[in-house]
Amino acid sequence: MAEKNTLIFVGYGSMAKAIACGIYNSNLKSKYHLEIAGRDSKKAQHFIDCNHLGDIAKIYQSCCEINVDQKIVILCLKPYALGNFKYIGNANSVYSVMAGVGIQTLKQHIHSGGYAKLMPNVGARYQKSSTAVFVEGDIKQEAQEILSSFGSAVFVDSESLVDASIATGGSSPAFLALVAQAIIDAGVREGLRRDDALKLVRATFEGFASLMNEQTPDEIISSITSPGGTTVEGLYVLEDRAVRGAFIQACHEAVAKSKK
């Protein structure tokens, strides 16, 4: 049996949790040992326990120096925390989810045979992340295997496009959650019980996701918008209130924030 590779997470926040759970629920579970590294061993243990990773993951005990030699490193830190650790050895590859941190900066901290800058989202927990990725070095095949274990990946031609994908994947689940919340409230306003409205909206989002696999947004709108009907009346209000423009601007501001 081939020896398992070690995949070490530096950081144990929401994104690390989502990616680790995605990998745990995929066929890569049998291929990798997982290590969790950070400054607080209690938080690292909580990360393992709450996500039921005990059979494949362990805590990397040192809180200041991290041995990355021949390991696959996934950096799930806040950008300012990258320099909180000293990385010892030559990593096999480094994957960074840190917005606004370029590969040249990573090279100043970690020696590696290859680097990847990526922007997944919390859907990774259910193997449904949409992930933009830029790779440097001969690691594209490895990257495809790892990233596909927690969703779908789009390989882009420049690092800047990874940060740009904050608009389409990184921050957008929060924006969509705001839409869902508003529609639930609308249902309550019209007389539905809140739990019934929540159930209906969840089912609507599931159906919409399936439609998006087959149709463009324009096609979906056209298919349910009858002349003089109820849907076009609602769409008129949304366009009159510049909701489309507000979403575009919100996405733009989110991307701009990552560059500051």
Other C-beta atoms within 10 Å of 70: how many? 12
Work out the average pLDDT over 196-207.
96
Same fold, 5-157 and 172-258: no
User: What fold, for 172-258?
Assistant: ProC C-terminal domain-like fold (1.10.3730)
pLDDT digits (tens, 9 = 90+) for 129-178: 888 999 999 999 989 988 988 888 999 998 888 888 888 888 888 999 99
Of the two residues 26 and 112, the one the predictor is more confident about is 112
Which of 89, 97, 137, 88 minimizes the C-alpha distance to 117? 97
pLDDT, residue 177, reads 95
Work out the average pLDDT over 32-41.
79
With respect to CATH, is domain 5-157 assigned 3.30.1360.120?
A: no
pTM of the entire predicted model: 0.81
Give the chain's end-to-end CA distance (angstroms, integer).
47
**Coil, helix or strand at residue 131:** strand
Strands (E), the chain: 5-10, 32-37, 57-59, 65-67, 72-75, 86-88, 90-91, 93-96, 111-112, 115-119, 129-136, 151-155
Contact indicator for 164, 257 with CB cutoff of 8 Å: no
| Domain extent listing, the chain | 5-157, 172-258
Give me the chain's average pLDDT, please: 87
Name the H helices within 60-193: 103-109, 140-148, 159-164, 172-189
Q: Which residues of 14-26 are buried (b: 16+ CB within 10 A; e: fewer)?
A: ebbbbbbbbbbeb
Q: How far apart are CA 149 and CA 20, in angstroms?
A: 10
* H/E element, 255: helix 243-258
Q: How far apart are CA 16 and CA 35, in angstroms?
A: 11
Q: How far apart are CA 66 and CA 89, in angstroms?
A: 9
